[in-house]
Amino acid sequence: GTSCTRFKAWLSRENQMLSAVKTNEAELSPEEVRTKQETLQALRSRLPEGQEMFKMMLLENQNDEGEDEVVEDLRYSWMLYKSKLKENSCIRTKNITRSKKPTGTQKEATPRAKTQKNPGLLQRICRLALLLWLLLLSLLLLAFLLPLMDEGNSCSLSNNFARSFSVMLRYDGPPPT
């Protein structure tokens, strides 16, 4: 519908602006960084507008079965745009804190950079899964190595009944009466 085309046009404009902001960050002057940061701030401030347009599009195309693929493509593009904007925002704040000279303003920028450093949910889940896999692997390795280490202390030596048979089998004298 019309909301699909309107949202698609809005999203493509926003993506173009975001792509214009993405450049090699190591060679930027503080003024360029500030300008790009202001552009990113403007893009972030328009996120609620985009979210509202997205909701309207979903409501309008709720019953249209022919538009499902278009809506799914737009949903994917919208999620991708938001993640790129968030990723780019994190990089920019790190760059600003690196480019500033150690003055009083450095202390103000540090708490914001600390809040941006928190790992994402997916990264925390992957890290936890890796630790659990390593724990499981070490337990399996331990389970396979324990029987190899216990060759001298097997169950047959601790079992008196089994030990009595081994003595009888080694007896070379006359049969008992």
As a residue count, the chain comes to 177
Tell me how far apart the alpha carbons of residues 138 and 130 are, in angstroms, rounded to a whole number: 12
User: The pTM is what?
Assistant: 0.48
For residue 81, which of 140, 17, 26, 163 has the smallest C-alpha distance? Answer: 17
111-134 pLDDT, tens digit per residue, is 554 555 677 889 999 999 999 999
> Do 93 and 36 form a contact (C-beta atoms < 8 A)?
no
177: pLDDT strictly greater than 50: yes
pLDDT value, residue 149: 64
53-76 pLDDT, tens digit per residue, is 888 888 887 776 667 788 888 888
